[in-house]
Structure 1
Amino acid sequence: MNNIRRDLINNTYYLGVPAIRDEVTWRKMGRENTLVTADSAAAEDALTKNTGTSKTVDTTGEGGTKSQSDKSQSNTSTLLVPASLTFVALLSPEGFFLAPDGNWTRSTNFAPTFADVKLNCRAIAPSDVETFANDFTSVMQNIEWLMAQTETPGNTKQGVLTSNESPKISIKMRHVLFEENNGEADPEQVVAMEEWPVKTPEALEAIERMKDTHHVVPLPAYDTKGNIIPPVLYRDALMGAVVRVIVKLRHWNIAAKRNTSDSSRDTYVADIESLRVLTPPGKAKASRKIAQTDPGSPSKKRRVGL
């Protein structure tokens, strides 16, 4: 484990050390704020400064115009690189919702349709792995600090950290299970909708309707050998496992609806980029070995001296 920790510190954006705060920064990407690498943000700033903002050019071919600043924004937006934050944690049995169908049965506020389903789980300190258990306090402190850098005064906060935890001890992570077909998905990576394991009748009906409009994005979870974990094994292979986690952090400032008692809120999500099992969970009770001969038979009792 010490070698793994050394590699994480040297080669990744590791949340277990204070230095991470200088390596990342928040930037606007589309309608959201995304935590990006400080290097990519500096590169964007340099290019924007060098290109200037005053010149207006025709970019439409139809007499329309687009300012140089707009053009620079479209060019430099690709320079921003979301930070792949890493840490090591135990996937808690509490709040573990990584079933292949998300246990979806009906429309909810969070998932009005099956296409809106997100798998989620909680990461907690790996108490039995001293090397990383000691780091997890820093992981939590850094997550809280990073979120505070983009919070809006007066807003309530939701997502990633649980409001009723004091002190904070867990990180909520999610995986977006479905994407709309837009021609950009790698055909070799696309899983056929009819092959995806779902159990509830509602999910079975919904996935049939979605097969021409969406595709599945399997959870990027890997076992100790680096092999991707099949969806039917998500629970057995991941719940209670110690894993190396890679996530990307995003934020939205959501204004309160007019003429309601709702408050404006800062919403954060930690999107799972990768889960790699370092220590598998203990054997589940359901998988205990069954004796091949009756242990209560007279001959068996004589052999054990009864």
Structure 2
Amino acid sequence: MSADTDFEDLREQLRAKCIYLADDNVPERLEWFRMQDFDRVITKDEADKYRNSSRKEGTPSNEDDESGSPPPARLAGIVRLTHKHDFFMQACSGWIPSTSPGHPRFADIRPSAFTEDPGIPELMGDYPKIWNNVVALLRGWYQFEGEDATKLRDSVGVIDWTTKSEPNPAHGFKIGHRVFERQSPENLKNFQDHGASFNIETWPVEPEAQLELDKIKKTHIAHPIPVYYPDPEKNLIPPYRYRDDLRGAIVRLEFHLNHWFIDGRHTFTADIRRMKILVRPNLPPRDVASPIKRKGIPSRDDFSDEDELPRPPKRQATSHRTNASASTSQQNPQAVPSTPKKTKATSTRKTAAKDKSEESPKKEKYKQSTLHTMWSPK
């Protein structure tokens, strides 16, 4: 699987351009920085440059003024986009109308996916370090604010703290990208048209969401996920291909880590800056039905249905001697017993025995048929 990619070399490239999250001492190289409406992770080097600059003390930073604020840290890793959880990295994030509390507006949808260990031998042990460093950065925000780090469990977003078991690298962490933005003179000036497949006019949505899309076509612009096909194509992946081409893929991931306070809750987001497929997904088509499960032989015997089987008729003990012959034998043990006379009772018993012997094959046949029907495999 990894024969076409030199992962050792790729890891060095990421170290040169980004903060490779599987390295040691990552949290010590980063810190949180307060913007106007949110907080972001930046490198300590950029923080020192900002503090040593000639900017006036007390001048509020502005998230829209990238030239005046330290740039966000580019965090990187090599991960797999998991297919085990619900996969919402689709063009419309699977959005459908709902009146449930907390349900996002259509204009605010954020296609997302959980990451997991890519399972590449050359990168053995990297993903657990990536996950642990992400958690350390989340805890670092509470230290940055002077709050109790145990409150992290009340947060939402990057790490799913709602699981019954303690979150760990096997649960992964979530990344996402907001695709719609309200029009402004600045973003219209910088807007880049990638073609009809990426335009808000033709943005693919569920039928139930089409009306909501129509409402924002004149007020918003679409920002496709910055994710690219592997070499040699290197093309931007169109929105209608997100699910099929990304679910289960191994990717080179670069993202920014931010903190927001939304609806009274601390929310952390891992915002995709750039992503490239390294290994295409190897999953069966979504429309292929699962094989029919057949009931097998039990691993332990079970005779609980024994009472339901047909029982043979009870046999009644009979004597070959009449009462008279028995009496004679007792009086004269040496006498040869005489042949008993055919009494009416004896004749009746023999007739009944004959009738019984004639019916026996039918009953035996019924018994065998019943047993075969009940025990034949289904």
Question: Given the two structures, how large is their TM-score scaled by the length of structure 1?
Answer: 0.77
User: For residue 27 of structure 2, what is the amino acid of its counterpart?
Assistant: R
Counterpart for residue 161 of structure 1 = 159
Most deviating of 38-47 and 278-287: 278-287
As a proportion of its length, which structure holds more strand? 1
Counterpart for residue 96 of structure 1 = 87
Are residues 205 and 146 of structure 1, via their aligned partners in 2, closer, same or farther at CA, if it must alter by over 3 Å? same
Counterpart for residue 82 of structure 1 = 72
| Deviation by residue 1:54-90 (Cα, 9 ceiling, x = unmatched) | xxxxxxxxxxxxxxx33x7568972311011000111
Q: Is the 8 A contact 1:40 1:79 kept in 2?
A: no
Counterpart for residue 210 of structure 2 = 204
Q: Is the 8 A contact 2:160 2:167 kept in 1?
A: no
Are residues 287 and 102 of structure 1, via their aligned partners in 2, closer, same or farther at CA, if it must alter by over 3 Å? closer
Q: Find the aligned partners of 1:254 and 1:181 in 2 and give their Cα distance.
A: 22
- 1:18 equivalenced with 2:24 (yes/no): yes
Cα RMSD, aligned residues only: 2.4
Q: Is the 8 A contact 1:27 1:35 kept in 2?
A: yes
User: Aligned to 1:83, what secondary structure does the other structure show?
Assistant: coil
| Deviation by residue 1:183-238 (Cα, 9 ceiling, x = unmatched) | 223343374322211232x3111111111110111111111122111111111111
Are residues 177 and 187 of structure 1, via their aligned partners in 2, closer, same or farther at CA, if it must alter by over 3 Å? closer
User: Aligned to 2:168, what secondary structure does the other structure show?
Assistant: coil
Counterpart for residue 124 of structure 1 = 116
Q: Find the aligned partners of 1:98 and 1:52 in 2 and give their Cα distance.
A: 42
Are residues 104 and 5 of structure 1, via their aligned partners in 2, closer, same or farther at CA, if it must alter by over 3 Å? same
Most deviating of 78-87 and 154-163: 154-163
Counterparts of 1:255-266 in structure 2, within 5 Å, are 265-266=265-266
Q: Find the aligned partners of 2:104 and 2:132 in 1 and give their Cα distance.
A: 34
| Deviation by residue 1:252-298 (Cα, 9 ceiling, x = unmatched) | 35685xxxxxxxx432111111221111111533699xxxxxxxxxx
2:259 to 251, 254, 270: 251
Q: Is the 8 A contact 1:44 1:77 kept in 2?
A: no
Counterparts of 1:56-205 in structure 2, within 5 Å, are 69-70=58-59, 73=61, 78-93=68-83, 94-107=85-98, 108-127=100-119, 129-151=120-142, 152-153=147-148, 155=151, 156-163=154-161, 164=163, 165-169=165-169, 170-185=172-187, 186-189=190-193, 191-200=198-207, 202-205=208-211
Q: Find the aligned partners of 1:235 and 1:142 in 2 and give their Cα distance.
A: 28
Are residues 109 and 223 of structure 1, via their aligned partners in 2, closer, same or farther at CA, if it must alter by over 3 Å? farther
Are residues 229 and 251 of structure 1, via their aligned partners in 2, closer, same or farther at CA, if it must alter by over 3 Å? same
Runs (4+) of structure 1 exceeding 4 A deviation are 50-53, 72-77, 108-111, 253-256
Are residues 118 and 238 of structure 1, via their aligned partners in 2, closer, same or farther at CA, if it must alter by over 3 Å? same
CA displacement at 1:37 relative to structure 2: 2.0
Are residues 174 and 287 of structure 1, via their aligned partners in 2, closer, same or farther at CA, if it must alter by over 3 Å? same
CA displacement at 1:28 relative to structure 2: 0.2
Q: Is the 8 A contact 1:8 1:86 kept in 2?
A: yes
User: For residue 188 of structure 1, what is the amino acid of its counterpart?
Assistant: Q
Counterparts of 1:237-248 in structure 2, within 5 Å, are 237-248=245-256
Q: Is the 8 A contact 2:95 2:206 kept in 1?
A: no
Are residues 5 and 27 of structure 1, via their aligned partners in 2, closer, same or farther at CA, if it must alter by over 3 Å? same
Q: Find the aligned partners of 1:279 and 1:241 in 2 and give their Cα distance.
A: 6
- 1:4 equivalenced with 2:10 (yes/no): yes
Are residues 157 and 199 of structure 1, via their aligned partners in 2, closer, same or farther at CA, if it must alter by over 3 Å? closer
Q: Find the aligned partners of 2:19 and 2:114 in 1 and give their Cα distance.
A: 20
Counterpart for residue 219 of structure 2 = 213
User: For residue 108 of structure 2, what is the amino acid of its counterpart?
Assistant: D
Give aligned pairs, total.
Answer: 260
In structure 2, list runs of 5 or more residues that go unmatched.
1-6, 289-378
CA displacement at 1:51 relative to structure 2: 5.2
User: Aligned to 1:149, what secondary structure does the other structure show?
Assistant: helix
Q: Is the 8 A contact 1:236 1:284 kept in 2?
A: no
Query: Which fold has the larger relative contact order, with Cα–Cα distance below 8 Å and residues 6 or more apart in sequence?
Result: 1
Question: Given the two structures, how large is their TM-score scaled by the length of structure 2?
Answer: 0.63
Q: Find the aligned partners of 1:77 and 1:104 in 2 and give their Cα distance.
A: 35
User: Aligned to 2:230, what secondary structure does the other structure show?
Assistant: coil
Q: Is the 8 A contact 1:44 1:76 kept in 2?
A: no
Please say which structure displays the higher CA radius of gyration: 2
Q: Find the aligned partners of 2:135 and 2:217 in 1 and give their Cα distance.
A: 39
Q: Is the 8 A contact 2:82 2:115 kept in 1?
A: yes
User: For residue 182 of structure 2, what is the amino acid of its counterpart?
Assistant: E
Most deviating of 38-47 and 152-161: 152-161
User: For residue 203 of structure 2, what is the amino acid of its counterpart?
Assistant: W
User: For residue 85 of structure 1, what is the amino acid of its counterpart?
Assistant: L
Counterpart for residue 291 of structure 1 = none
Counterpart for residue 222 of structure 1 = 228
